[in-house]
Amino acid sequence: MGVEQPNFENIVTKENVTSRIVLRFFRHAEKESDKNKSDEEIALTETGRKQSVEKSEDPDISQSVAFGSPRKRTQQTAGFVMSGQLDEITGNEGIEELKSKLNKELGIGSKIAIDKRLNFNIDISTDFGKKAFEAFKNGEYLKFLVEQSDILAELLKDSSMETYSGIAGRVAEIVKKYLTGAPRWDELAQDKSKNYEDTLKRLFGTHQGIGESFLAKVIEQTKGKIERDAFVSALNNEGFDFAEGFDVKIETIDGKQNIRILFKKEKDGQVLFEYDEVVPTEIIENLIPTKSKEG
């Protein structure tokens, strides 16, 4: 009787993942229409609050923090996505009540914070702003950002404009921050005296075009422009739906950091587009503008 040979296709290699940092980026949920409020004060509708809570996953948020832009609807969305599974959260809270509930046990700081890099800034009185706004009204804002915004900004010689590369670079800065901090988090996660769970979570509520620009750039750099355009097309050339987004998972494996980015677009039970790739650190770093690196 011969010796049975191992089936190497069925051998599973167990990677030594010692810690994770999970970053979730998503567009804000449905917002109210109230002409008596400034855009910064616009909150979520009842439907928007439900959309946000439906995206929540965790009954324990002790190692989670939510971020939004200065516009309150993004903070509210991120707060609900983070805390929607908690018993004390009804899903009817305004942003201040939500902060009050989530911060009551904190000595310092807040569970919902602001990161201006998640914001947008379009001046519709400028030539660039007019084209951007026209694309937005026509349902082609993401297509405009990806295909035209960089070229138009260069022609107009204005680096302050809200462009594809600039937006992607801002999100890349956020990812790089947590990538840089991952070794220290790994030390803390493995320190038995600290009693931490191995996963740190950060949730980022933002606006249409922000997260998508970063993801499109990453797809372009790893899969090419054809796949990038397929991603844009899967989003109807416009961008994410309400409360839709993607995950960045920074895993420490045998002392080294791995960046995995995941996104899936489904409709009526059909997968329209899927991205699940380990992305080299250099790609993230190269998206960050030189001035930001120097600063």
- pLDDT tens-place string over residues 96-115: 999 999 999 887 899 999 99
**Residues 275-288, mean pLDDT to the nearest whole number:** 97
- The answer, yes or no, to whether residue 285 has pLDDT greater than 90, is yes
> pLDDT tier at 233 (50, 70, 90 boundaries)?
very high
Pairing mode, if any, of strands 245-253 and 17-27? antiparallel
How far does Cα 111 stand from its chain's mean position?
A: 17
Band of residue 292 on the pLDDT scale cut at 50, 70, 90: low
Q: In the chain, what percentage of residues exceed pLDDT 70?
A: 93
CATH classification (class only), 20-294: alpha beta
Note the pLDDT of residue 12.
36
**Structure tokens that stand for 19 in this block:** 């810690």
pTM above 0.75, yes or no: yes
